[in-house]
Amino acid sequence: MFERYTEKARRVIFFARYEASNYGSHYIETEHLLLGLLREFPDLHSNVRLEQVREEIEKHVTRGERFSTSVEVPLTAECKKILYLAAEESKRLSTSHVSTEHILLGILRVENCLAARILLARGLKPQAIQENLAGPPGARNPKVWPNKVASLKLDSFLAGLKWHNSEELVPFFAKNAQFIDAAGKRWNREEIYRGFETLFAPYAKKNASYVVEATLAESSDVFVANVLWKNALLASEQRAWMHRMSVVLIPEAEEWAILLAQVTPVQSF
């Protein structure tokens, strides 16, 4: 179903599934699709920000008990319609792929769904987006906030570790990326892919949690942050229960990618 989707569009679906499980919903609703979209398309509109939209959604829905991300979560009929319309918009605009912009248009065309109501109330108009997509490439000049985009990219990666899915998460790494594990061993991108389950198992644990402890550098060329993980417990390191993950992101192929991630055990009991 998603063969024609761009990498970013596929991640929208991936994070929509994550949001559904986080809210305790056994279906991917349109609001989950919108939250997934905002993780990959944070600059879509000046009046639409992830946390603002989340606050608005929570006025209309009740959180259930969070469940494992390994549970299959199907799309609702409204979400299936949105994805059908996204493909239709892609075809109408004579593009060979389905992008985040096409998913946005699909949401706006299902006017009565919660996600569309939120976007329409904040000033998004499908006609304006269609005209922007149909125009010449040089005419498109969306405003971008590099630091915010990098920060959301990091947040998307960290949240995605709960899924523990190498196919979805290895693309977050730059081509020449390196990962230094808690034992000090250095892994290149190919080794990260092959050893993904071993490397990231501690962060997929049910009780593992994280907080972005500090932003050390932020510019248009680099973003560096420290992430503190609690209960990232390894069987071989019973005494280590907190890890500090230092992460360096750089722009690559018009997106931000992880160049380096280094883990250091910081506390024992």
Please compute the mean of the pLDDT values over residues 143-164 and round it to a whole number: 71
Tally of domains within the chain: 2
pLDDT score for 138 = 44
Residue at which a domain ends, from 118, 139, 160: 139
> To 5 degrees, how large is the angle CA 70–CA 238–CA 178?
65
**Does the pLDDT of residue 139 top 80, yes or no?**
no
Picking from 57-66, 141-150, 215-224, 253-262, which range would have the lowest pLDDT averaged per residue?
A: 141-150
| DSSP string for 105-161 | HHHHHSTTSHHHHHHHHTT--HHHHHHHHHS-GGG------HHHHHHHHHHHHHHHT
Find out whether 37 and 30 touch, Cβ atoms under 8 Å: no
Instruction: Report, as an integer, the average pLDDT of 176-205.
Output: 91
Same domain, 97 and 195: no
Q: How many CB atoms lie within 10 A of CB 137?
A: 5
Domain boundary among 106, 139, 172: 139
What is the pLDDT at residue 7? Answer: 82
The overall average pLDDT reported for the chain is 84
Name the band, by pLDDT with cuts 50, 70 and 90, for residue 135.
Answer: low
For residue 173, tell me if it sits in a domain.
Answer: yes
Which is more confident, 131 or 257? 257
| CATH code for position 167 | 3.10.450.50
Residue 215 φ then ψ, to 5°: -100, 120
What integer pLDDT is reported at residue 147 of this predicted model?
59
Domain identity same for 179 and 75: no
Q: Residue written as tokens 């699709």?
A: 33
Tell me the average pLDDT across 120-137: 73
In this structure, the answer to whether residues 45 and 71 fall within a common structural domain is: yes
Q: For residue 198, how far is the Cα from the chain centroid?
A: 22
Helix, strand, coil content of the chain in percent (nearest 5): 45, 25, 35
Please state the length of the chain: 269
Whether residue 126 is found in the same domain as residue 156: no
Task: Tell me the pLDDT tens digit for each residue of 2-50.
Answer: 778 888 888 899 999 999 999 999 999 999 999 999 988 877 776 788 8
Q: Which domain holds residue 85?
A: 7-139
**Pair (100, 199) in one structural domain:** no
Residue 1 lies in a domain: no
Do 33 and 97 lie in one domain? The reply is: yes
Phi, psi (rounded to 5 degrees) for 126: -60, -35
Given a cut of 90, whether residue 242 has pLDDT beyond it is no
Query: What was the pLDDT predicted at 105?
Result: 92
The model scores a pTM over 0.75: no
pLDDT in tens, 72-120: 899 999 999 999 999 998 888 888 788 888 999 999 999 999 999 999 9
Q: What is the CATH number of the domain that holds 103?
A: 1.10.1780.10
Q: Are residues 152 and 242 in the same domain?
A: yes
Cβ contacts of 62-71, under 8 Å, gap ≥ 24: 63/23, 63/24, 64/23, 64/24, 64/25, 65/24, 66/21, 66/22, 66/23, 66/24, 67/21, 67/24, 67/26, 68/21, 68/206, 69/17, 69/18, 69/21, 69/162, 69/163, 71/21, 71/26
pLDDT-wise least confident of 65-74, 140-149, 173-182: 140-149
